[in-house]
Amino acid sequence: MDEGVTRIGVSLPKNLLDEFDSIIITRGYSSRSEAIRDAIRNYIVEYKWLEKEEGEIVGVLTVLYNHHFKGTSDAIISLQHDFGDIITTTLHVHLSDENCLEMIIVKGDMAKIKKLVDKITTIKGVSNARLITAIREQS
Amino acid sequence: MDEGVTRIGVSLPKNLLDEFDSIIITRGYSSRSEAIRDAIRNYIVEYKWLEKEEGEIVGVLTVLYNHHFKGTSDAIISLQHDFGDIITTTLHVHLSDENCLEMIIVKGDMAKIKKLVDKITTIKGVSNARLITAIREQS
Amino acid sequence: MDEGVTRIGVSLPKNLLDEFDSIIITRGYSSRSEAIRDAIRNYIVEYKWLEKEEGEIVGVLTVLYNHHFKGTSDAIISLQHDFGDIITTTLHVHLSDENCLEMIIVKGDMAKIKKLVDKITTIKGVSNARLITAIREQS
Amino acid sequence: MDEGVTRIGVSLPKNLLDEFDSIIITRGYSSRSEAIRDAIRNYIVEYKWLEKEEGEIVGVLTVLYNHHFKGTSDAIISLQHDFGDIITTTLHVHLSDENCLEMIIVKGDMAKIKKLVDKITTIKGVSNARLITAIREQS
């Protein structure tokens, strides 16, 4: 449908575009537009839960961090105690000499979970924090 | 740097763009270009491990699936037995009445892990499969 | 205190006693009585929670089973769905070619958890099922 | 078989015996001797792995501890880093306000695993540490 398609312009740093092109060749895309649509779809799936204002959910918060940063582990554990009513279980995986992955099972009010995600993201040494919930794949 | 920036054009379905705009307002972006750059960065982080050809890694494969599909659980468990030399531990989380999240801790040769990801992605009922490894955050 | 000690007699199969003696030498006990007192203490710690009649608890149910028994995995998974309101997370560990360990995180009413333990114990192929809760170490 | 049975005498503190009697009534035993045989069997199953001198095993080390003891969490985490070659994954469960359960998945040489169990047992605040492996149920 012609009316259903919009053309937009985007400015990208050259090195970011190079890296992106390299990945999409590896993944076997035929066009860059198609890959960008895919990136945008992933992005929507990733953050859609943010639009859900309230209600009880179950999810897994994955937190990648460098355990050589002094105090990062402590800060993550201490935060989990503060949010003890929505956290019962945590899985910890040693990915490499430097990197740890903490998977926090959360169950409870969405507003409280958002607050936890916000706080964990600001801890020094945390390189990535993302929430996986059932809402994600509805899009 | 002017030489460092490239401007590209992308065609997007109208409803995809609307959903994207709605999310970036929630997340507080000032411009759509900035949000697309972010989506591309996430995408690179997500798939960078695919470019690593060989070597031993530790990672977590997260698999979202609908457990009401007949045979999906069985197929996922049976696949894990086939790859028993790279899988020791699996965490299973019931996200909702319909959706389950299986987090498979993998440790071993990259080529074999890629094969597992490929196979799991094709199982009916699996809506999302992604690998989290230490390589990811190096980008 | 003399009044505080009772002497009892116990009949034991010879081979059971031999195995017990072999273990207590490995563990460095000075007397068989001391080791039996220890075995009784462990036993009390293990089953004390059974005397707690009601109330909400958090615990981990560890289930050892042989995954070569046809239908055992299915029965364990299906049971977990029946008790979905007290089970959110399960960790699965492949111990050996034959043996799997399923660790089920339970949170909820004691009476319901007891029912789950009873049902899981009767599944064919399950060789051991035990509940670990915070009550255990109070003895 | 008459020749196969031995009768031994055991001295027990009165309060230990009372607690034991109370549990065996709850569990429905017909005789105290029967319950003591069961306690001894459990004990053998629990510690049989100690007699295995060498070789590679997979197991789960469950550690119950009071997280209000200052330094206990830190000591447990630090120990896991020291034994990084046999530990990839750890599951942490908040049992109650005071008590935590850490389940450490171990894979590697038996001698090294024994050393880890020994060290973890001596950490202040740890009330119980036990290893679950596939060897256990062979008895």
Q: Which residue of A has its CA nearest to C57?
A: A88
SS3 of chain B: helix, strand, coil, percent, to 5: 45, 35, 25
Q: 3-class DSSP state for residue C79?
A: helix
Q: Max CA-CA distance within chain D?
A: 56
What is residue D48's predicted lDDT score, i.e. its pLDDT? 81
d(Cα B76, Cα B73) in Å, to the nearest integer? 5
Do residues B90 and B101 lie in contact, with contact meaning Cβ atoms separated by under 8 Å? no
Q: Reduced to 3 states, what is the DSSP secondary structure of residue C85?
A: coil
| Structural tokens at position B85 | 């030399």
**Taking 60 as the threshold, does the pLDDT of residue C4 lie above it?**
yes
Q: Encoding tokens for residue A9?
A: 């312009």
User: Is residue C12 within 8 angstroms of chain A, CB to CB?
Assistant: no
Among candidates D36, D46, D132 on the partner chain, residue whose Cβ is nearest the Cβ of C10: D36
Asked if pLDDT for residue B23 goes beyond 80, the answer is yes
Tokens found for residue B38 = 């972010």
* Interface membership of A78 toward D (CB under 8 Å): no
- pLDDT at residue D130 tops 60: yes
Q: What angle do CA A56, A43, A95 make, to 5 degrees?
A: 80
Confidence of residue C137 (pLDDT cuts 50, 70, 90): very low
Q: Quick one: pLDDT at residue C134?
A: 73
pLDDT over 60 at C77, yes or no: yes
**If DSSP codes are grouped into helix, strand and coil, which group holds residue D57?**
strand
Q: Express each pLDDT in D23-55 by its tens digit.
A: 999 888 888 999 999 999 988 888 887 777 678
Task: Summarize the confidence of residues A74-83 as an average pLDDT.
Answer: 88
| Pairing of β B87-94 and β B56-66 | unpaired
B85 and B117 Cβ atoms separated by less than 8 Å: no
B81 interface with A at CB cutoff 8 Å: no
* Whether residue C133 has pLDDT greater than 50: yes
Contact (CB<8Å) B105/D91: no
**C67 and chain B: CB distance < 8 Å anywhere?**
yes
Segment A2-8 shows an average pLDDT of: 82
Residue A137 confidence (pLDDT) above 50 = no
C51: CB partners within 8 A, 6+ apart: D22, D23, D26
Spatial distance between the Cα atoms of A63 and A104, rounded to a whole number of angstroms: 8
Whether the CA torsion C65, C66, C70, C73 is positive or negative: it is: positive
* Model pLDDT, residue A133: 83
State pLDDT tens for residues B88-134. 899 999 888 888 899 999 999 988 999 999 999 999 999 888 888 87
More confidently predicted of C97 and D25: D25
State the average pLDDT over residues D118-138: 80
**What are the two backbone dihedrals, phi and then psi, of residue A138, each rounded to the nearest 5 degrees?**
-70, -20
| CA–CA gap between residue C32 and residue C36 (Å, rounded) | 6
Using an 8 Å Cβ cutoff, are B72 and B66 in contact?
yes
Q: Which residue, among B60, B88, B132, would best test binding to D if mutated, counting the most D CBs under 10 Å from its CB?
A: B88
A97-100, long-range: CB within 8 Å, 24+ apart, which pairs?
A97/D84, A98/A66, A98/A67, A98/A68, A98/B134, A99/A64, A99/A65, A99/A66, A99/A67, A99/B134, A99/B137, A100/A64, A100/A65, A100/A66, A100/A67, A100/A73
Strands C126-133 and A126-133, bridge-based pairing: unpaired
Cβ neighbours, 10 Å, residue D130: 19
Residue D8, pLDDT > 80, answer yes
A85 in contact with C, Cβ within 8 Å? no
pLDDT recorded at residue C135: 59
CB D101 within 8 A of CB D92: yes
Residue D33: count other Cβ atoms within 10 Å of its Cβ: 15
| Assessment of whether the complete model's pTM goes beyond 0.90 | no
- D84: chain A residues, CB-CB within 8 Å: 94, 97
pLDDT at D56 over 60: yes
Q: What span, in angstroms and rounded, lies between the C-alpha atoms of A71 and A69?
A: 6
**Chain C residues touching B89 at Cβ < 8 A:** 91-94
Say what the pLDDT of residue B54 is: 74
Tell how strand A56-66 and strand D99-109 pair up: unpaired
Q: How far apart are CA B115 and CA A127, in angstroms?
A: 27
**Contacts B–C by Cβ distance under 8 A:** 37
The CA distances from residue B79 to B67, B99, C76, in Å, are 16, 19, 18
Bridge partners (DSSP) of residue B123 are: none
A12-60 tens-digit pLDDT: 999 999 999 999 998 888 889 999 999 999 888 888 878 776 788 889 9
- Is the separation of the CB atoms in A122 and A114 below 8 Å? no
All residues of chain D having their beta carbon less than 8 Å from the beta carbon of residue B91 are 91
C53 confidence band (pLDDT: 50, 70, 90): low
Helix (H) or strand (E) holding A56: strand A56-66
pLDDT at C3: 63
Chain position carrying tokens 């964990």: A120
Residue D94 near residue A84 (C-beta atoms within 8 A): yes
What residue type is assigned to position C128 of the chain?
N
Distance CA D89, CA D131 (A): 15
What is the predicted pLDDT for the residue at B136? 42
What's the confidence (pLDDT) of residue C2? Answer: 53
Of C6-10, C24-28, D92-96, where does the model show the most confidence?
Answer: C6-10
Radius of gyration for the alpha carbons in chain A, expressed in angstroms and rounded: 18
Burial tier of A73 (Cβ tally within 10 Å: 0-12, 13-18, 19+): buried
Phi and psi based region of residue A107 (left: phi greater than 0; alpha: psi -120 to 50; beta: remaining): beta
**Residue D2 has what pLDDT?**
53
Portion 94-123 of A in contact with B at CB < 8 A: 94-96, 98-99, 101, 103, 105
Q: Which domains, ranges and CATH numbers included, belong to chain D?
A: 54-138 (3.30.70.1150)
pLDDT tens digit string along D95-113? 888 888 999 999 999 889 9
CA B50-B53-B59 angle, to 5 degrees, is: 60
